[in-house]
């Protein structure tokens, strides 16, 4: 079973430059090393290593010492075909988190920049109830040369890994599968956040995760509960509850949790849940972080207005888009791409995390 390999900084930089080359951004001549290094936010040494990778692929031609590199002429490249690529979302676009909406729109833009037609599937995984026969029926009824599947279930992605229909998994249960994939490596950041809360004295820590992670229990949840156990906190469903993903479901869950044993800290895997949690706490006259600490999945343009500043997680979505662009470019050339890439996530502690209230 293939293992997941994290890209080196030089490979990530090469992926970024590769996408720009394939979109025709620079024409025939590449800018100098110093300018490219500054734009990619890497050292010149890393940039040069990335350029050598692209030269090996035949995308660049060296210009000689002290001269700029040139984009390889068309006769050295495999002719590309225009593709029709489908996006199968976890939820309807209007229901996604703002940062996820931005990512989806950037994917659409990147595909169009490469000359492909990219569209969103008529029904989301949530609307199809994650039922594989319904999903496959939608695939059969929709003309597409390939699919990008967001947050797919283990059953769906296993099918994708054995299907002749080219698929790329964007997140989801794809680890260990022979399938092109890219995702945010968020588990280490969440475990770091949990350790941070434990050091501050928190014992009643709740992770709000998607409902479909519970059947069967996602490895993310297992590692999270194991982390709590390593600090002497007996993990249970209290720490990763099963709940109905809706405003009413969140209200019901929080009402029940705060009735008997109120949590002192929350880690959330979607930023829209942060809005619901903040609303609940305000109506209960509970203060953040004096009574409850909160770490949101992201701090998007709306949540950035929250004071005190929200603790959150951060990732470079541009790297996700560039990996997808490379997959599409290989598909257009008739090349099979099964590489798994993970993009690291950072825990950004801020003012919504503090020691628990003395009475907790």
Number of CB atoms found within 10 A of residue 100's CB:
25
What per-residue confidence (pLDDT) applies to 3? 40
Query: What is the structure's pLDDT at 37?
Result: 87
Residue 62: CA atoms inside 13 Å, Cβ hemisphere, count?
12
CA 118, CA 331: separation in Å to the nearest integer?
Answer: 14
Band of residue 9 on the pLDDT scale cut at 50, 70, 90: confident
Q: What is the pLDDT of residue 64?
A: 52
Q: Count CA atoms within 13 Å of residue 237 on its CB side.
A: 9
Residue-level pLDDT at 257: 96
For residue 289, whether the previous peptide bond is cis, meaning omega lies within 30 degrees of 0, is yes
What three-state secondary structure class fits 238?
coil
When pLDDT is averaged across residues 316-330 and rounded to a whole number, the result is 92
Look at residue 18 in the predicted model and tell me its pLDDT: 81
Instruction: Domains for the chain: give ranges and CATH numbers.
Output: 9-76 (1.10.10.10), 84-185+315-345 (3.40.50.2300), 187-314 (3.40.50.2300)
Lowest model confidence (mean pLDDT) among 72-76, 81-85, 265-269, 325-329: 72-76
Q: What are phi and psi of 76, to 5 degrees?
A: -95, -5
Q: Are 353 and 194 in contact (CB under 8 A)?
A: no
Per-residue pLDDT tens digits for 107-142: 999 998 888 999 999 999 999 999 999 999 999 999
As beta bridge partners, residue 29 has 70
User: Taking residues 308-329, what's their average pLDDT?
Assistant: 93
Collapsing DSSP to helix, strand or coil, 293 comes out as strand
Give the rounded percent of residues in the chain with a pLDDT score beyond 70: 92
Give 58-110 pLDDT, tens digit per residue: 777 765 555 566 676 544 444 567 899 999 999 999 999 999 999 999 999 99
- The stretch 226-247 carries a mean pLDDT of 95
Tokens in use for 277? 């949690």
The half-sphere exposure of 243 on its side-chain side, counting CA atoms within 13 A, is 24
Identify the top-confidence range among 24-38, 202-216, 298-312: 298-312
Q: DSSP string covering 31-66, please?
A: PPHHHHHHHHTS-HHHHHHHHHHHHHHTSEE---TT
């Amino acid at each position: 079973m293939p293992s997941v390999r994290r890209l080196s900084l030089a490979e990530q930089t090469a992926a970024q430059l590769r996408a720009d080359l394939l979109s025709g951004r620079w024409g025939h001549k590449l800018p100098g090393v110093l300018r490219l290094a500054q734009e990619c936010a890497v050292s010149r040494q890393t940039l040069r290593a990335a350029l050598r990778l692209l030269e090996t692929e035949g995308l660049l031609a060296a210009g000689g010492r002290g001269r700029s590199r040139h984009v390889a002429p068309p006769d050295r490249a495999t002719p590309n075909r225009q593709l029709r690529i489908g996006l199968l979302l976890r939820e309807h676009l209007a229901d996604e988190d703002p940062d996820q909406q931005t990512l989806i729109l950037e994917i659409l833009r990147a595909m169009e920049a490469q000359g492909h037609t990219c569209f969103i599937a008529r029904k989301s995984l949530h609307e199809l109830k994650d039922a594989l026969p319904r999903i496959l029926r939608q695939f059969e009824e929709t003309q597409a040369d390939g699919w990008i599947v967001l947050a797919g279930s283990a059953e769906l992605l296993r099918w994708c890994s054995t299907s002749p229909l080219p698929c790329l998994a964007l997140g989801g249960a794809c680890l260990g599968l022979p399938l092109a994939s890219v995702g945010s490596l968020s588990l280490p950041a969440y475990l770091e956040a949990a350790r941070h809360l434990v050091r501050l004295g928190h014992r009643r820590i709740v992770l709000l995760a998607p409902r479909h992670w519970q059947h069967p229990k996602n490895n993310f949840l297992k590692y999270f509960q194991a982390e709590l156990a390593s600090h002497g906190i007996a993990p249970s469903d209290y720490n990763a509850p099963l709940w109905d993903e809706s405003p009413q479901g969140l209200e019901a869950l929080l009402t029940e949790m705060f009735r008997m044993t109120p949590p002192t800290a929350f880690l959330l895997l979607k930023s829209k849940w942060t809005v619901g949690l903040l609303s609940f706490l305000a109506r209960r006259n509970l203060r953040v972080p004096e009574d409850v600490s909160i770490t949101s999945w992201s701090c998007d343009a709306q949540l950035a207005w929250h004071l005190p500043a929200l603790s959150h997680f951060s990732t470079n979505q541009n790297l996700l888009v560039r990996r997808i662009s490379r997959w599409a470019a290989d598909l257009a050339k008739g090349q099979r791409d099964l590489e798994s890439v993970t993009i690291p996530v950072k825990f950004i502690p801020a003012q919504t995390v503090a020691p628990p209230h003395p009475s907790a």
